[in-house]
Amino acid sequence: MTWNPTTGCDKISAGCKFCYAEIMSRRLQAMGVEKYKDNFEVRMHEDALNIPYTWKNSKVVFVNSMSDLFHNDIPLEFIQKVFKVMNENPQHIFQVLTKRADRLSELHNELKWTHNIWMGVSVENEKVKDRIDFLRETNAKVKFLSCEPLIGPLQNLNLEKIHWAIVGGESGRKTRPMKESWVWDIRQQCADQGVAFFFKQWGGTNKKKSGRELGGRTYDEMPVPMVVESLDSSYYQ
Ligand code: SF4
């Protein structure tokens, strides 16, 4: 399930090269969808803020699949509104992913971090490993890495205070290859440091065909035990 209280972004690192959100925004604009009339310009959508209150059952929600919540053009006041919605809907798990880990680090003390907010940073290659350090120091209760699209090796990862790592290759018409050895290396580092490991896909031009098995099995670990331990009673209300 996705929820997009903001839309639009611009490219910040190598992982953005074939940005899915940019391609989709262009298509949605061409189809005349009002929310995307400004294509990929950063926009805030006040009317989208009430959507999570209307969902009947608990959901796992990917926040801002079409944007980056910590983009510089999104004021703190709006980010706080998005957090208020997440705070007031503890029945849902909200996964927020950013490449602007430096801004996340600047603002995290101004935000209320309930247990249902899982905060992640994208780490596609060695150059952006410092995003993990920014994430580590935040007040987020659940912290994860999205190593997708993985376009280079990630060695000597410090996974202290990190609960979950997702790894995946790039998919689409043009893709950059992911070496199997890079994936195994991350898997081993997760095992050594007690971090849940989720292998999402090999990607490529036919991601269904390439599948998501690693060494003949799938890896679907989730940071759930840690989350259950840390829940307070309000989570269930
Ligand atoms: S940060 Fe995310 S949404 Fe923004 S351009 Fe990069 S890949 Fe696209």
**Rounded to an integer, what distance in angstroms lies between the CA atom of residue 134 and that of residue 20?**
25
**Rounded to an integer, what distance in angstroms lies between the CA atom of residue 39 and that of residue 42?**
9
Q: How confident is the prediction for the chain on average, in pLDDT?
A: 94
Residue 153: alpha-carbon gap to chain centroid: 20
**Rounded to an integer, what distance in angstroms lies between the CA atom of residue 227 and that of residue 208?**
31
pLDDT at 236: 36
Cβ pair 131, 162 in contact under 8 A: no
Cβ of 11 less than 6 Å from ligand 1:
yes
Tokens of 72: 């510089």
| 15, 106, 132, 143 from 146: Cα distances, Å | 11, 21, 10, 10
Mean pLDDT of 22-50: 97
Cβ of 68 less than 6 Å from ligand 1:
yes
pLDDT band for position 237 (cuts 50, 70, 90): very low
Q: Does residue 128 have a pLDDT over 50?
A: yes
Q: Does residue 135 have a pLDDT over 90?
A: yes
| 16, 197, 227 from 176: Cα distances, Å | 12, 22, 34
In 3D space, the residue among 21, 179, 195 whose CA is nearest the CA of residue 98 turns out to be 21
Residue 107: half-sphere exposure toward Cβ, Cα within 13 Å: 20
Distance 67 CA to ligand 1 centre (A): 6
Lowest mean pLDDT among 53-62, 112-121, 222-231: 222-231
The sign of the torsion formed by the CA atoms of 59, 97, 217, 188 equals: negative
Amino acid identity of 137? E
Ligand 1 atom 5 nearest Cα: 11
**Rounded to an integer, what distance in angstroms lies between the CA atom of residue 151 and that of residue 84?**
35
Peptide bond into 75 cis (omega under 30): no
pLDDT band for position 7 (cuts 50, 70, 90): very high
pLDDT band for position 235 (cuts 50, 70, 90): very low
The rounded percent of the chain whose pLDDT value lies above 90 is 93
pLDDT band for position 227 (cuts 50, 70, 90): low
Mean pLDDT of 12-34: 97
Q: Does residue 28 have a pLDDT over 60?
A: yes
pLDDT at 233: 40
Q: Does residue 218 have a pLDDT over 60?
A: yes
- Over residues 158-178, the pLDDT tens digits come to 999 999 999 999 999 889 999
Q: Does residue 215 have a pLDDT over 60?
A: yes
Cβ of 226 less than 6 Å from ligand 1:
no
- How long is the chain? 237
Please report the atom of ligand 1 found closest to the CA of residue 11: 5
- Over residues 54-68, the pLDDT tens digits come to 999 999 999 999 999
